Structures are given as C-alpha cells and as structure tokens.
A and B are shown apart, each in its own frame.
Chain A
Amino acid sequence: GESVGLHLPTLSVQEGDNSIINCAYSNSASDYFIWYKQESGKGPQFIIDIRSNMDKRQGQRVTVLLNKTVKHLSLQIAATQPGDSAVYFCAVAFSGGYNKLIFGAGTRLAVHP
C-alpha cells in the first residue's frame, strides 16, 4: 500500500547549523512532493514543493532534494534558527483520478542556542 515514512522522529541541532530532514515514500507513481512546517496547536504551513521531473529545488534557506530511484526526499534548512523549531511533515501526492495528499509521521526539529 501507500506509505510515507520518516527516518528520524526528533532532530536536535545547534543554532546556525544546517538541518537535514529525510522522508521515504513507497509508491513510485508519486509525482508531487511537499514539505510542511507545523507549530504547536496550529495547522501545517507550506514550505516548499517539488515535482517528479525535478531533482532539486531551492527556496529561502531551504532546499528540497528528490531521489526517485530510491524514493527518498529530504529537506535541508540552512543556518537553522530558533524560529525553525517545529514539526516538519513531508506529503506525497498521486496524480491521476482523485488526488490526495498522504502525510508522513513528522520529524520534530529542536534548535538549541
């Protein structure tokens, strides 16, 4: 069946370091991938997305890498700041017919001064 998983449930980093959050997915037909950030008690917020015809996409301080061969994507946050502390989810979409977003379990990022 479809599943999306994360390698690490919690990631602790020092302020200023780079953070890497990983996500694995199971369905090779997946063609749209999104990273969300969720702060406590709030709804997830969009960070960055990537489509299957790309391997890399960069935003402000964030980069998403997609490796379709091993069905893996990662979110890299440069110069991590205390405000980056949150839970990060990857989400995978399957196009064709009814489209739905499948979310991974999430990784909690804790940034220490």
Chain B
Amino acid sequence: DGGITQSPKYLFRKEGQNVTLSCEQNLNHDAMYWYRQDPGQGLRLIYYSQIVNDFQKGDIAEGYSVSREKKESFPLTVTSAQKNPTAFYLCASSAGGGFEAFFGQGTRLTVV
C-alpha cells in the first residue's frame, strides 16, 4: 500500500542532544513537508521541499535542519538549539503545489 511513514512514534531526548525524525513516502510525491503541532494548537510549518536536493524554511525553522537527498525521504533533525522541542511532529507529502497533502501518523518528541 502506498503511504507516508514516520518513525519512531514516540521519541525521548535529553537536553543538549540532537535527534532525527524519519519520514519516508512511496507515493512518488515531489513535495514533502514538516509541521510542528503543540497541544490544542494548529500546524506550524518547519521546512518544506518541492524537489530533491532543495528545501525551504517555513515559519519556525530555527533549531531544526532537514535534508532531501532522495525523493522518498525527508528526515528532520531537532538540534540542541531548539529551546522547546517537546511537540507532535507531522510529516506530509504532496504531488506538488495545489494538491492535497498526505500526512504520516506523527512522532511525539519529549525532552527529558
């Protein structure tokens, strides 16, 4: 079945550590996105990529980094520079601008 997969579902990080969240899609989509969701809040865009080897900062990119070396993969690294990383992270993909985005099931990151 085609879809978008995020792993792990739950992730715990110690302060000062970098962690990488995985996002893989087999939908042959060009565009991929990372969103952050805090409790009772909407989705805020962290980074997005419209094509392999290219990505753009979203509204809250500080403290995060991404790469897009393969079409199907768009990993997100939460660095130690992110002061409040505890949140629910959602990855999405779409065929491009003006097309619906399909979401993964999310990764809940907690700083301990």
Taking Cβ atoms with an 8 Å cutoff, the residues of B that contact A are: 6, 31, 33, 35, 41-45, 48, 50, 56, 58, 90, 92, 94, 96-98, 100-106, 108
Contacts and interface: CB of A to CB of B under 8 A. Distances in A.
8 contacts: A41-B106, A43-B92, A43-B106, A44-B90, A99-B96, A100-B33, A101-B33, A103-B45
A42 interface: yes
A87 to B, nearest CB: 9
Interface stretch (A45-53, A67-75, A77-85): A45-53
A104 B56 CA distance: 20
Given A46-B101, A104-B42, A106-B41, 5 more contacts: A89-B42, A93-B97, A99-B96, A101-B92, A105-B41
Contact of A100 (B6, B48, B102, B104): B48
Given A93-B98, A103-B43, A105-B41, A98 B106 contact: no
Given A103-B42, A104-B42, A105-B42, A46 B100 contact: yes
A106 to B, nearest CB: 5
Contacts of A45: 103
A14 interface: no
A95 B42 CA distance: 21
B33 A103 contact: no
A103 B41 CA distance: 10
B45 A106 contact: no
Contacts of B6: 43
Contacts of B98: 31-32, 51, 93, 95, 99
Q: Which 4 A-B pairs give the minimum distances between C-beta atoms?
A: A99-B97, A43-B103, A103-B43, A105-B42
A89 B42 CA distance: 8
A6 B34 CA distance: 22
A103 B50 contact: no
Nearest to A103: B43
Given A51-B98, A93-B98, A95-B97, A101 B106 contact: no
